Amino acid sequence: MITMAKCFSFVRTRNSCYRYTFSHSGLKSSTVDLGDGTIMHCWIPKTHNSTKPTLCLLHGIGANAMWQWADFISPLISKFNVYVPDLLFFGDSYTTRTERSEAFQATCVMGALEAHGVQRLTVVGISYGGFVGYSLAVQFKEKVEKMVLICAGVCLEEKDMEQGLFKVRTVDEAAEILFPQRVEKMKELLRFTFYKPPKNIPSCFFNDYIEVMCTEYIQERKQLLQALIRGRNLSHLPKITQPTLIIWGDHDQVFPLELAHRLKSHLGENAELKMLKKTGHAINIEKRKEMYKYLKVFLVDQFTTSKQINHSIGLKAD
């Protein structure tokens, strides 16, 4: 019995369940070699429906794509051609190149999407995925139609850390929490990302999660964090022109609420901000229903209304 318990991995089992969820929902696993030492893995539609708009979901820095988007696939896939890439150094995506910027991540994501024939899309990015999504909207503004940024502190500045905006004082301290190697750091991660952290989680689960999810590409992931903040200045951040929805938890400790207001101010009338009360950074877990509600209004309902208006105009023109 001891041997069986030691061999069982809840996290690996959860990975298998997520794979089933994605596959059963109509997606398939696909890998693209970009030809420069970069391999991008992406969940793509088994059949691309040309009558549906295309949606790209970008995960945060805490896990692979499946763990962060599994609960949203089923409702979204009926309305969109859904593409869910693993960002570099997560899941099955990696590169031998030395670039670590979100701009490079965005270029690789677009390379993978274009390899699957994607021409125009809407992007939803959570946390670090929002940084990558923002860069997609900047670099490929003719391809990205709409943008959703969820708890993504793209308006942060390097001086913010020095001036005490964040709970952590250095990038190294942040990396120790975000990429935990000990049970104590896993518990700290939960306190850091949840408004109400889950309780009574056994240490064996934490050790299992660390072993399966937090042991690969540690150095590279730290470099992603360093590249994210090094030399960052709001005055250097381009303003994206796509209609943008900003969703934020009012008790986010990773990217404090001030950054949400800063982003809304930066984008002006082109963006709308929705705040979820009593919610931390793990908004896709703590308030998944509320988060989806806002996504639906912005992505689905507005699209349907626009389509109906265009159809009506077309009928009158005839």
Question: What was the pLDDT predicted at 300?
Answer: 87
Q: What is the pLDDT of residues 218-260, one digit of tens each?
A: 999 999 999 999 999 999 999 999 999 999 999 999 999 999 9
Q: How far apart are CA 293 and CA 296, in angstroms?
A: 5
Global confidence as pTM: 0.92
Count the neighbouring beta carbons within 10 Å of the beta carbon of residue 313: 10
Q: Where are the beta strands (DSSP E) in 38-143?
A: 38-45, 54-58, 81-85, 94-95, 121-126
Query: Residue 299 pLDDT > 70, yes or no?
Result: yes
Per-residue pLDDT, averaged over 274-303, amounts to 93
For the chain, the domains span 11-155+239-307
Q: How far apart are CA 269 and CA 296, in angstroms?
A: 20
- CATH number of the domain at 11-155+239-307, please? 3.40.50.1820
Query: Residue 310 pLDDT > 70, yes or no?
Result: no
Question: What was the pLDDT predicted at 213?
Answer: 92
